[in-house]
Amino acid sequence: MPSLRPDGSRKSKNGDAVATRTRQLEAFTQAPENLLTTNQGVALPDNHNSLKAGLRGPSLLEDFILREKLTHFDHERIPERVVHARGAAAHGYFELAKPLVEYTRADFLQEVGSRTPVFVRFSTVVGSRGSADTVRDVRGFAVKFYTREGNYDLVGNNIPVFFIQDAMKFPDLVHAIKPEPHHDMPQASAAHDTFWDFVSLMPESTHMLMWVMSDRAIPRSYRMMEGFGVHTFRFINARGASHFVKFHWKPKLGKHALAWDEAQKIAGKDPDFHRRDLWEAIERGDFPEWELGLQIISEEKADKLGFDLLDATKLVPEEVVPVTVVGRLVLNRNPDNFFAETEQVAFHPGHVVPGIDFTNDPLLQGRLFSYTDTQLSRLGGPNFHELPINRGVCPFHNFQRDGMHRMLINKGRVAYEPNSLANGSEYRVDGGEQGFQSLAEAMESPKIRRRSPSFDDHFSQATLFWNSQSQAEKEHIIAAFQFELSRVETPAIRQRMVDTLAHVDVRLARKVAEPLGVGPPDAKAAAGRAGFREPRGKAPLESAPSLSMEAAGGGIQTRKIAVVLGAGAELGAYKVIQQALLDAGATTKVVAAHLGFVASSSGQQVPVDHTFLNMPSVMFDAVLVPGGAAAAQALLQDGEAVHFVLEAYKHCKPLCMIGESIELLRSVGVGMPEGPAVPGLVIGSNEPTTRLQLAQDFIAAIARHRHWTRSVEKVPA
């Protein structure tokens, strides 16, 4: 570990920083042992009985063993996070691929190949700690880099913009979206009056609403979503020159979503869906990976963007400023203890290192206050930086002292600066070139509590987002608005919202309004409301393909394929396809009516992994049904089996139906011989010469993830 030098620098060899960090944490871990003691180390004689006055007498106050055990238990809970309470995290590293010396002096961004240990926490925003993972919500994407120059936290989200422009509105936003205060409902959902009341009165939220109503808010996996720093930050190089920077995380597995109906069902079937997915992938050795991408923007270029970079409701389209990949993030170790690590980790956008600086974004500026403040009550005092998960890999030293749960034993009589008594000579830290240097940005303005007119355009980027979506994505957005607003009991709120949407796109507003029992969208009424700003900027382009998830990419690695098996199935084609799926990195599981074994047409006993009831179709990415007349008949007689296949079909998942198994879909009029080809539905036979082609077609269908253009309205499931 590098030591502090008098000038504050820590330029020593990086060595294996990840191993150093792991060893540092290991010093605090404890394996199970067969000896029980009190917290003072006294061995327990009996962990089943309290000390009593006689065999049937009252317990004695003297029983320090019972008292200690109960007292500790009584205080096991800490407050959950005010927002982002539900999360899951993992350890890993960041590896630099491109030196950034030209732009930043940040030590961890200088040397190609250097690895910086990280701890990453993903979260939902609205729900409480025990809520479901797959609700419609923004996802937090918080990365703590343990660098040699101190901890750097990139505390971002999976959506590149935000609901509000100024931190002053954050408590209002959160109060509006959280469960309503009189009855504490609904849990982890925006689909209620107070949220839509608030946002329908806040035109600045419109762009973010478009993202939250899109499939971005129901990701398939934490491993398959993008991350964004959201705010504009600054890079400062060794000469003190500044560039604006926007941070992006690009998932190696592509960006993918669930179907909305599926997300709701998973919330009941497996509320831990996302945390389980992350945990299991890491345990299997399928380490999740993202590229770090940067948009670096000069001051001159910033002036020509046509919107204000300090406004967190705006993004910089990749088509305008390309994203340069500079490194990769790999998560390769699950935490040892959820509470000690995932719960006690304390992120803070204000944790920066030399070479990275803030901008005057008024949302970011408020965050710089809020995180330490909230962690004081969540973690119980000012010393949470001493918790193992929050410690840096470099030493820290200052004259802050004492406080709840202080662990460090500071030696000596000096706890002040300047001093001459600590090391026998005069010591003063009073300006100079060392340490963190804030950008010397010129400031000469009157104090003012007003919004900058450069933040006034609330709609052009919402329209850009809408125009950039595929037809299927647009339909999902419309359906999401309709669902959420249909849950709003107050008609005036529903009306206000569709009026506002008319400023994004009139057709969108009309479609959303259709089932809501409101009048036609009235753009003029919206424009007449307080908070509405007239100026509408011109988006730098008509549509930006990077904003769509249509070309999601990512292959089929780690995809879960269900093999639906009925007694008497013919296994020939299935075996070939299964091997091809495994070779391409997917996993297959046999699902049947009961556990144990299912006999194939040749009498082979095939082991069953799951039943239709304990592992429903929503837990899988695709479905394969082997052929055989007897198997098809057996499955057709089983309502759960038919539902399994139809539900996967309804959620637009790839299906491979071999031989007679197609009858399961034909029972509802799908996949008829004379009918048109159905997107993502691969139909084949057991004929040996066609098996490889069948496998390739199925793999190609899975790689597209979902076939949203499939017509599913008439399919019951």
Query: Annotated active-site positions, please?
Result: 84, 157
Q: CA 521, 522, 523 angle in degrees (round to 5)? A: 110
495 binds ligand HEM (CB under 6 A): no
Identity of the residue, 9 or 370, whose beta carbon is nearer to ligand HEM in the bound complex: 370
Closest CA to 648 of 671, 611, 620: 620
- How near is the Cβ of 170 to ligand HEM at its closest, in Å? 4
- How near is the Cβ of 203 to ligand HEM at its closest, in Å? 18
Identity of the residue, 336 or 638, whose beta carbon is nearer to ligand HEM in the bound complex: 336
Contacting ligand HEM (CB under 6 A), which of 290, 347, 466, 574? Answer: 347
Q: Quick one: three-class SS letters along 195-207?
A: HHHHHHCCHHHHH
367 binds ligand HEM (CB under 6 A): yes
- How near is the Cβ of 172 to ligand HEM at its closest, in Å? 11
Name 96's bridge partners.
Answer: 327
H or E element at residue 96: strand 87-96
Cβ atoms < 10 Å from Cβ of 118: 22
Structure tokens at 394: 């470099």
Residues 6+ apart with CB under 8 A from 251: 223, 224, 225, 226, 288, 289, 290, 554
DSSP string, 644-691: HHHHHHHTT--EEEEGGGGHHHHTTT-S-TTSPPPTTEEEE-S-GGGH
314 binds ligand HEM (CB under 6 A): no
Contacting ligand HEM (CB under 6 A), which of 14, 114, 375, 617? Answer: 375
346 binds ligand HEM (CB under 6 A): yes
Q: How far apart are the first and last CA of the chain?
A: 58
- How near is the Cβ of 10 to ligand HEM at its closest, in Å? 26
Identity of the residue, 101 or 168, whose beta carbon is nearer to ligand HEM in the bound complex: 168
Contacting ligand HEM (CB under 6 A), which of 371, 455, 465, 708? Answer: 371
Identity of the residue, 229 or 540, whose beta carbon is nearer to ligand HEM in the bound complex: 229
Identity of the residue, 131 or 374, whose beta carbon is nearer to ligand HEM in the bound complex: 374
CB of 618 closer than 8 Å to CB of 651: yes
CA dist., res. 159 & res. 256, Å (int): 13
H or E element at residue 575: helix 572-583
By CB under 6 A, what part of segment 377-406 binds ligand HEM? 378
CB of 656 closer than 8 Å to CB of 623: yes
- How near is the Cβ of 263 to ligand HEM at its closest, in Å? 20
363 binds ligand HEM (CB under 6 A): yes
CA dist., res. 411 & res. 687, Å (int): 80
By CB under 6 A, what part of segment 115-174 binds ligand HEM? 121, 123, 140, 142, 155-157, 162, 167, 170
CA dist., res. 695 & res. 684, Å (int): 10
90 binds ligand HEM (CB under 6 A): no
Contacting ligand HEM (CB under 6 A), which of 9, 370, 543, 696? Answer: 370
CA dist., res. 7 & res. 613, Å (int): 65
82 binds ligand HEM (CB under 6 A): yes
Which region among 44-52, 302-310, 371-379, 588-596 touches ligand HEM (by CB under 6 A)?
Answer: 371-379
Closest CA to 533 of 452, 612, 601, 468: 452
Q: Is the dihedral of CA 445, 173, 134, 129 positive or negative?
A: positive
374 binds ligand HEM (CB under 6 A): yes
User: For residues 647, 648, 653 and 658, what is the CA-based torsion angle, rounded to 10 degrees?
Assistant: -130
> The tokens 């709701």 sit on which residue?
264
- How near is the Cβ of 552 to ligand HEM at its closest, in Å? 23
Which region among 11-19, 67-75, 247-255, 363-371 touches ligand HEM (by CB under 6 A)?
Answer: 363-371
3-state secondary structure of 584: coil
SS3 content of the chain, % helix, strand, coil (to 5): 30, 15, 50
Which region among 184-192, 245-253, 339-347, 508-516 touches ligand HEM (by CB under 6 A)?
Answer: 339-347
Identity of the residue, 212 or 695, whose beta carbon is nearer to ligand HEM in the bound complex: 212
Identity of the residue, 344 or 578, whose beta carbon is nearer to ligand HEM in the bound complex: 344
Which region among 44-52, 343-351, 580-588, 664-672 touches ligand HEM (by CB under 6 A)?
Answer: 343-351
334 binds ligand HEM (CB under 6 A): no
91 binds ligand HEM (CB under 6 A): no
Site string for ligand HEM, 218-257 (x = CB under 6 A): ------------x---------------------------
CB of 609 closer than 8 Å to CB of 590: yes
- How near is the Cβ of 570 to ligand HEM at its closest, in Å? 50
- How near is the Cβ of 541 to ligand HEM at its closest, in Å? 24
Checking DSSP bridges between strand 681-684 and strand 655-658, what pairing results, if any? parallel
- How near is the Cβ of 84 to ligand HEM at its closest, in Å? 3
Number of residues that bind ligand HEM (CB under 6 A): 27
Identity of the residue, 313 or 600, whose beta carbon is nearer to ligand HEM in the bound complex: 313
- How near is the Cβ of 550 to ligand HEM at its closest, in Å? 25
Identity of the residue, 94 or 612, whose beta carbon is nearer to ligand HEM in the bound complex: 94
Which region among 19-27, 270-278, 359-367, 668-676 touches ligand HEM (by CB under 6 A)?
Answer: 359-367
CA dist., res. 589 & res. 596, Å (int): 13
Instruction: List the beta strands (DSSP E) in 315-373.
Output: 324-333, 356-357
Long-range contacts, stretch 22-30, CB < 8 angstroms, 24+ apart: 22/91, 22/117, 22/333, 24/388, 24/391, 24/393, 25/336, 25/388, 25/389, 27/388, 28/340, 28/388, 29/336, 29/337
Which region among 79-87, 178-186, 272-280, 463-471 touches ligand HEM (by CB under 6 A)?
Answer: 79-87
Report which residue's Cβ sits closest to ligand HEM: 140
366 binds ligand HEM (CB under 6 A): yes
- How near is the Cβ of 342 to ligand HEM at its closest, in Å? 8
Checking DSSP bridges between strand 115-124 and strand 139-147, what pairing results, if any? antiparallel
Identity of the residue, 228 or 649, whose beta carbon is nearer to ligand HEM in the bound complex: 228
- How near is the Cβ of 168 to ligand HEM at its closest, in Å? 8
Identity of the residue, 157 or 460, whose beta carbon is nearer to ligand HEM in the bound complex: 157
Identity of the residue, 114 or 375, whose beta carbon is nearer to ligand HEM in the bound complex: 375
Which region among 126-134, 362-370, 470-478, 674-682 touches ligand HEM (by CB under 6 A)?
Answer: 362-370
Cβ atoms < 10 Å from Cβ of 214: 23
What does the binding site for ligand HEM look like in residue numbers (CB under 6 A)?
81-84, 87, 121, 123, 140, 142, 155-157, 162, 167, 170, 230, 345-347, 363, 366-367, 370-371, 374-375, 378
